[in-house]
Amino acid sequence: MNQYQAIIIGFGKAGKTLAAALAQKGWQVAIIEQSNTMYGGTCINIGCIPTKTLVHDAELQHDFAAAMQRKASVVSFLRDKNFHNLADLDNVDVIEGRAEFIDNHTVRVIQPTGTLEVRGEKIFINTGAQSIIPDIAGLSGTPGVFDSTGLLNLTQRPQRLGILGGGYIGLEFASMFANFGSQVTIFEAAPLFLPREDRDIAEAIAQILRDQGVELILNANVQSVSSHDGMVQLQTPEGLRTVDALLVASGRKPATEHLQLKNAGVDVNERGGIIVNKYLRTSADNIWAMGDVTGGLQFTYVSLDDFRIVRDSLFGEGLRNSGDRQNVPYSVFMTPPLSRVGMSEEQARASGAMVQVVTLPVAAIPRARVMDDTRGVLKAVIDVNTQRILGVSLLCADSHEMINIVKTVMDAGLPYTVLRDQIFTHPTMSESLNDLFSLIKS
């Protein structure tokens, strides 16, 4: 049996970064990945990199087949680079196969040719998340039904695309395929569109989608799914809807089902997420869990921060923890993208703070005129008493870059006047922060 100082299960952002850091310290490391198409993790292979590559090409109205080929090339390059970054190190073994625990120090790796057992002093779980498939008759196994991974491997653009789920993943794909020329219909079971967003922001997003030709159906009760003449049929109380392809975008859950965690004494919650403390330790003293597998925020940059917490536990002062995180931003890469940090207006008012809310239409921004994209709105929520920014929503081009500026000011505890009076280059989208925060009445 091969012995290692560290076993890392999963080649995602936290796992691969930790493996490299441990190797630099001279540790003997094994990193286990069940698929050779997933070296580098979800983001590189089936998440943010391929989707954002396609979003970029869709915005430029590139040919769908050509865009898919370029996406595959980008992913292949990064996957190969990530593999060799670890596999070429003398003290790192990359092992392909599905891992399951025998006990809290021993892992069985199931491979096509048999099984392999490895033993580690410390073990780090970074297996990510997997798609949730709703309990709808015929949904599983029907030709033409895809999760996000499957849809990213299409070579021909569906003329009509149905999307089951109106969350952020569904929005990105809806906007992308609409820009490629598909007729897109979103079937959202809930009565409220984007419940985490303020109603004015949600309605602005809905209008942008409608202007792109996307049909948005709320309270959609899809009773069954079937295949007929190469098409996908959705049975609803209102009748039969037919599409060429159906994307199941009903969220993702921690990928823990096959790990046999009980054998290692690792506890999970009701959704299968591994329970960790603020230092990312599990109920087994020598085992940590990082990234999406804990059931927290499913962002690559949070997974990277998980690595920093574990590294500090191993080699630092052991003070860094998940409770240190403030104002984690997110971006939804529809066109134009939505980015938000901090509280929504609804959350801020519910907190009891005395708030002031200001909005700025994107049409008022010179750079937006230059780029010929005046869709969207900027919104800020301010604490009147402290002058601090409680939250910002940006629905505009380049919002995914702008939101990081806002986060930095919020984390530093600085007043909104820093952005109101900041000197920005011109013409840029960032300088619109001057105008947005100038609307606040002192």
**Active site members:** 426
CB crowding 54-64: b at 16 or more within 10 Å, else e: bbbbbbeebeb
**Could you give phi then psi for residue 79, rounded to 5 degrees?**
-60, -45
Joined tokens for residue 159: 């003329």
Whose structure tokens read 């059931």? 295
Burial class of residue 352 (count of CB atoms within 10 Å of its CB; 0-12, 13-18, 19+) = exposed
| Residue 106 contacts residue 117 (beta carbons within 8 Å) | yes
| Residue 177 contacts residue 152 (beta carbons within 8 Å) | no
Q: Which of 113, 92, 117 is nearest to 1 (CA)?
A: 117
Q: 29-33 and 92-96: which strand pairing? A: parallel
- d(Cα 394, Cα 359) in Å, to the nearest integer? 10
- d(Cα 402, Cα 343) in Å, to the nearest integer? 17
Q: Give the number of other Cβ atoms within 10 Å of residue 141's Cβ.
A: 8
